[in-house]
Amino acid sequence: MQGAGRGTQERTANSPAESPFAVAGLRIARASIGRSCIRTYSLCIVGLGNVGKAFVALLRDKEQELRNRYGMAWRVTGVASRRLGWLVAANGFAPEKLLSGDFSEAQAATGVQDWLPSTKADVLVEVSSLNAATGQPATDYIRAALEAGVHAISANKGPVVHAWRELTQLAASKNRRFLHESAMMDGVPIFSLFRETLPALELRGFRGVLNSTTTVILEAMEAGKTFDEAVREAQRLGVAETDPSNDVDGIDAAVKIVGLTTVLMGGNLKLEDVPRQGIRGIGTEQLNAAQASGEVWKLVSRARREPDGTITASVAPERLQVSDPLSTVRGTSLLIGFETDIFPELIIGERDPGPQATAYGLLADFITAVRST
């Protein structure tokens, strides 16, 4: 047996190319060795609403997969919200207690500058409420984390719209990452798609149905409800806010346009640069006429780079033919089509997402951030 073993080794050493099976086995062995060294990352979360809790639940559900595939373990050492204040658990909160609202073992910090070092955080997960006008206070939280050498991931559109360049440059200067996959389309991989898988591609523009609340309202009106009745129905379903203005007046869609053009197209648009028309002016007569022709109304977001290099954008209701992919969007689904120099329209969408979809974008960013430094 020893002679046979030596002969095998010699043949392998003298062969012009290694067996692909041997190479694969070596890679598997190395991967197994790497996974035997598990690194634990401390996470702190700002905002523990539906998305924050969905993120904690997803971490719990994916715990073994994270250990086995990525050599990663985690603990949540800090949570914060307007209601809770700034809470710290140095050894980590039990996930079930976080999900049930039991913070009895936590200690209080006085603010974000005191909270971050107390949590010994590796990653800040920022999922606080959107302030479309200023991006605050979320931007300050992310800035404080990056300045402290902590990765920052966010589901908040505000910091992307108002401070993306500043925060991205700050992250790079600290050898950290500012990532925000969940900020635009509930975790759909748009930013990472262009960043990691589409090199040397020229993005010329995009169009999409980027606000689900208006779709739900228009569908309810198609079914016979008045605008006010349709809004109340959307609120009952938890789709519309108590004040639905951000959605029905096109503000949310315009914010997404600014964020997408800033990150993907190098744009400098501000919210006031995007002409917008909401759905308040769409009545039953217009909806019925479209239905009779086999067409539908959707709130459509558009952006395009003009020949002189400027970027123009708009949000407005459009009457779409059934052959248009945007016409297929129903309920809380979203869809966007990117026009490029190679693909006439590269389409990506999601069907009826919930908080777990947004949480997944945060999880993907968490993995990307800690594995890239």
Give the Cα separation of 6 and 269 in Å (integer).
Answer: 68
**Interatomic CA distance for residues 370 and 42, integer angstroms:** 11
pLDDT string in tens for the chain (373-residue length): 333 333 333 333 343 444 444 444 444 444 443 446 899 999 999 999 999 999 999 999 999 999 999 999 999 999 999 999 999 999 999 999 999 999 998 999 999 999 999 999 999 999 999 999 999 999 999 999 999 999 999 999 999 999 999 999 999 999 999 999 999 999 999 999 999 999 999 999 999 999 999 999 999 999 999 999 999 999 998 899 999 999 999 999 999 999 999 999 999 999 999 999 999 999 999 999 999 999 999 999 999 999 999 999 999 999 999 999 999 999 999 999 999 999 999 999 999 999 999 999 999 999 999 998 8
- At the fourth CATH level, the homologous superfamily of domain 197-352 is Dihydrodipicolinate Reductase; domain 2 (3.30.360.10)
**How far is the C-alpha of 195 from the C-alpha of 78, rounded, in Å?**
30
Rounded distance, CA 255 to CA 161, Å?
A: 7
Tell me 333's DSSP state: -
Helix, strand, coil shares, percent, the chain, to 5: 45, 20, 35
DSSP 120-132: T-SEEEE-----T
In terms of C-beta density within 10 A (0-12 exposed, 13-18 middle, 19 or more buried), how is residue 171 classed?
A: buried
Residues 40-80: tens digit of each pLDDT: 999 999 999 999 999 999 999 999 999 999 999 999 999 99
Residue 36 has what pLDDT?
61
Residue with tokens 């070092």: 117
Report the DSSP pairing between strands 178-179 and 203-209. Answer: unpaired
Q: Which residues 6+ apart lie within 8 Å of 123 measured at CB?
A: 41, 42, 43, 44, 150, 151, 152, 153, 366, 369, 370
34 three-class SS: helix
For residue 14, the model assigns a pLDDT of 40
pLDDT at site 373: 81
Would you state the CATH architecture of domain 39-187+357-371?
Answer: 3-Layer(aba) Sandwich (3.40)
Sheet containing strand 151-154, strands side by side: 107-109, 85-88, 72-81, 39-46, 123-126, 151-154, 178-179
- The model scores a pTM over 0.75: yes
> Which pair of tokens denotes residue 116?
């971050």
Are the CB atoms for 212 and 350 separated by under 8 Å?
A: no
286, with CB counted inside 10 A (0-12, 13-18, 19+), is: middle
In the chain, ranges of CATH 3.30.360.10 domains: 197-352
Residue range(s) in the chain whose domain bears CATH number 3.40.50.720: 39-187+357-371
- How far apart CA 9 and CA 5 sit, in angstroms, is 6
Compute and round to an integer the Cα radius of gyration of the chain: 24
Q: Which residues are registered as beta bridge partners of 92?
A: none
The CA distance from 187 to 353, in Å, is 9
